Amino acid sequence: MTVQTRLIVNGQDREWTLDARTTLLDALRDHLGLYGTKKGCDHGQCGACTVHVDDRPVVACLTLAAQVAGGAVRTVEGLTESPGDLHPMQQAFLDCDALQCGYCTPGQLMSAIACVDAGCAGSTDEIRDFMSGNLCRCGAYQGIVEAVARVHAAGQGRS
């Protein structure tokens, strides 16, 4: 069974006919070529596929595209207006050495931005708790927490 699905992805209106079982992750990667959103575990346990839907973080591998029809989706590619610019969280990740191999980084960034925007970055414990759904096999957790704290301290949330 197919469904007509319309989403606003990174500010652009998109419409497709999709199999009703198509996940948001597969729609973004396979139908729009947005490869920044990673397929990690495909079970909602690692956070590599985290995107924002209507300003809320969701794991795209467990979310059907049709389930969020009409919604506004933001991926890591949509964090800035211009490809050469960096979002404050991206800059903080670089400054704080918050990545190693980079595979989990897009999902980490999307969750980190949501953490600051939700007001959950007031302490290291709060940040760690909010970010606990995002796994990093390289162990860059200290840098990630530092980056989130830095963006929060600079008042750069809701961007």
pTM: 0.95
Residue 17 has pLDDT above 70, yes or no: yes
Q: Which two tokens stand for residue 117?
A: 């925007």
Task: Determine the residue type at 49.
Answer: C
pLDDT recorded at residue 84 = 86
| Secondary structure (H, E, C), the chain | CEEEEEEEECCEEEEEEEECCCEHHHHHHHHHCCCCCCCCCCCCCCCCCEEEECCEEEEHHHCECHHHCCCEEECHHHCCCCCCCCCHHHHHHHHCCCCCCCCCHHHHHHHHHHHHHCCCCCCHHHHHHHHHHCCCCCCCHHHHHHHHHHHHHCCCCCC
Q: In the chain, where are the structural domains located?
A: 2-78, 88-153
Q: Which CATH architecture has domain 2-78?
A: Roll (3.10)
Does the structural domain 88-153 have CATH classification 1.10.150.120?
yes
Give burial (CB, 10 Å; 0-12/13-18/19+) of 132: exposed
Please state, rounded to an integer, the average pLDDT across all residues of the chain: 95
Would you state the pLDDT for residue 156? Answer: 79
Q: How confident is the model at residue 83 (pLDDT cuts 50, 70, 90)?
A: confident
Predicted confidence (pLDDT) per residue in 89-139, tens digit = 999 999 999 999 999 999 999 999 999 999 999 999 999 999 999 999 999
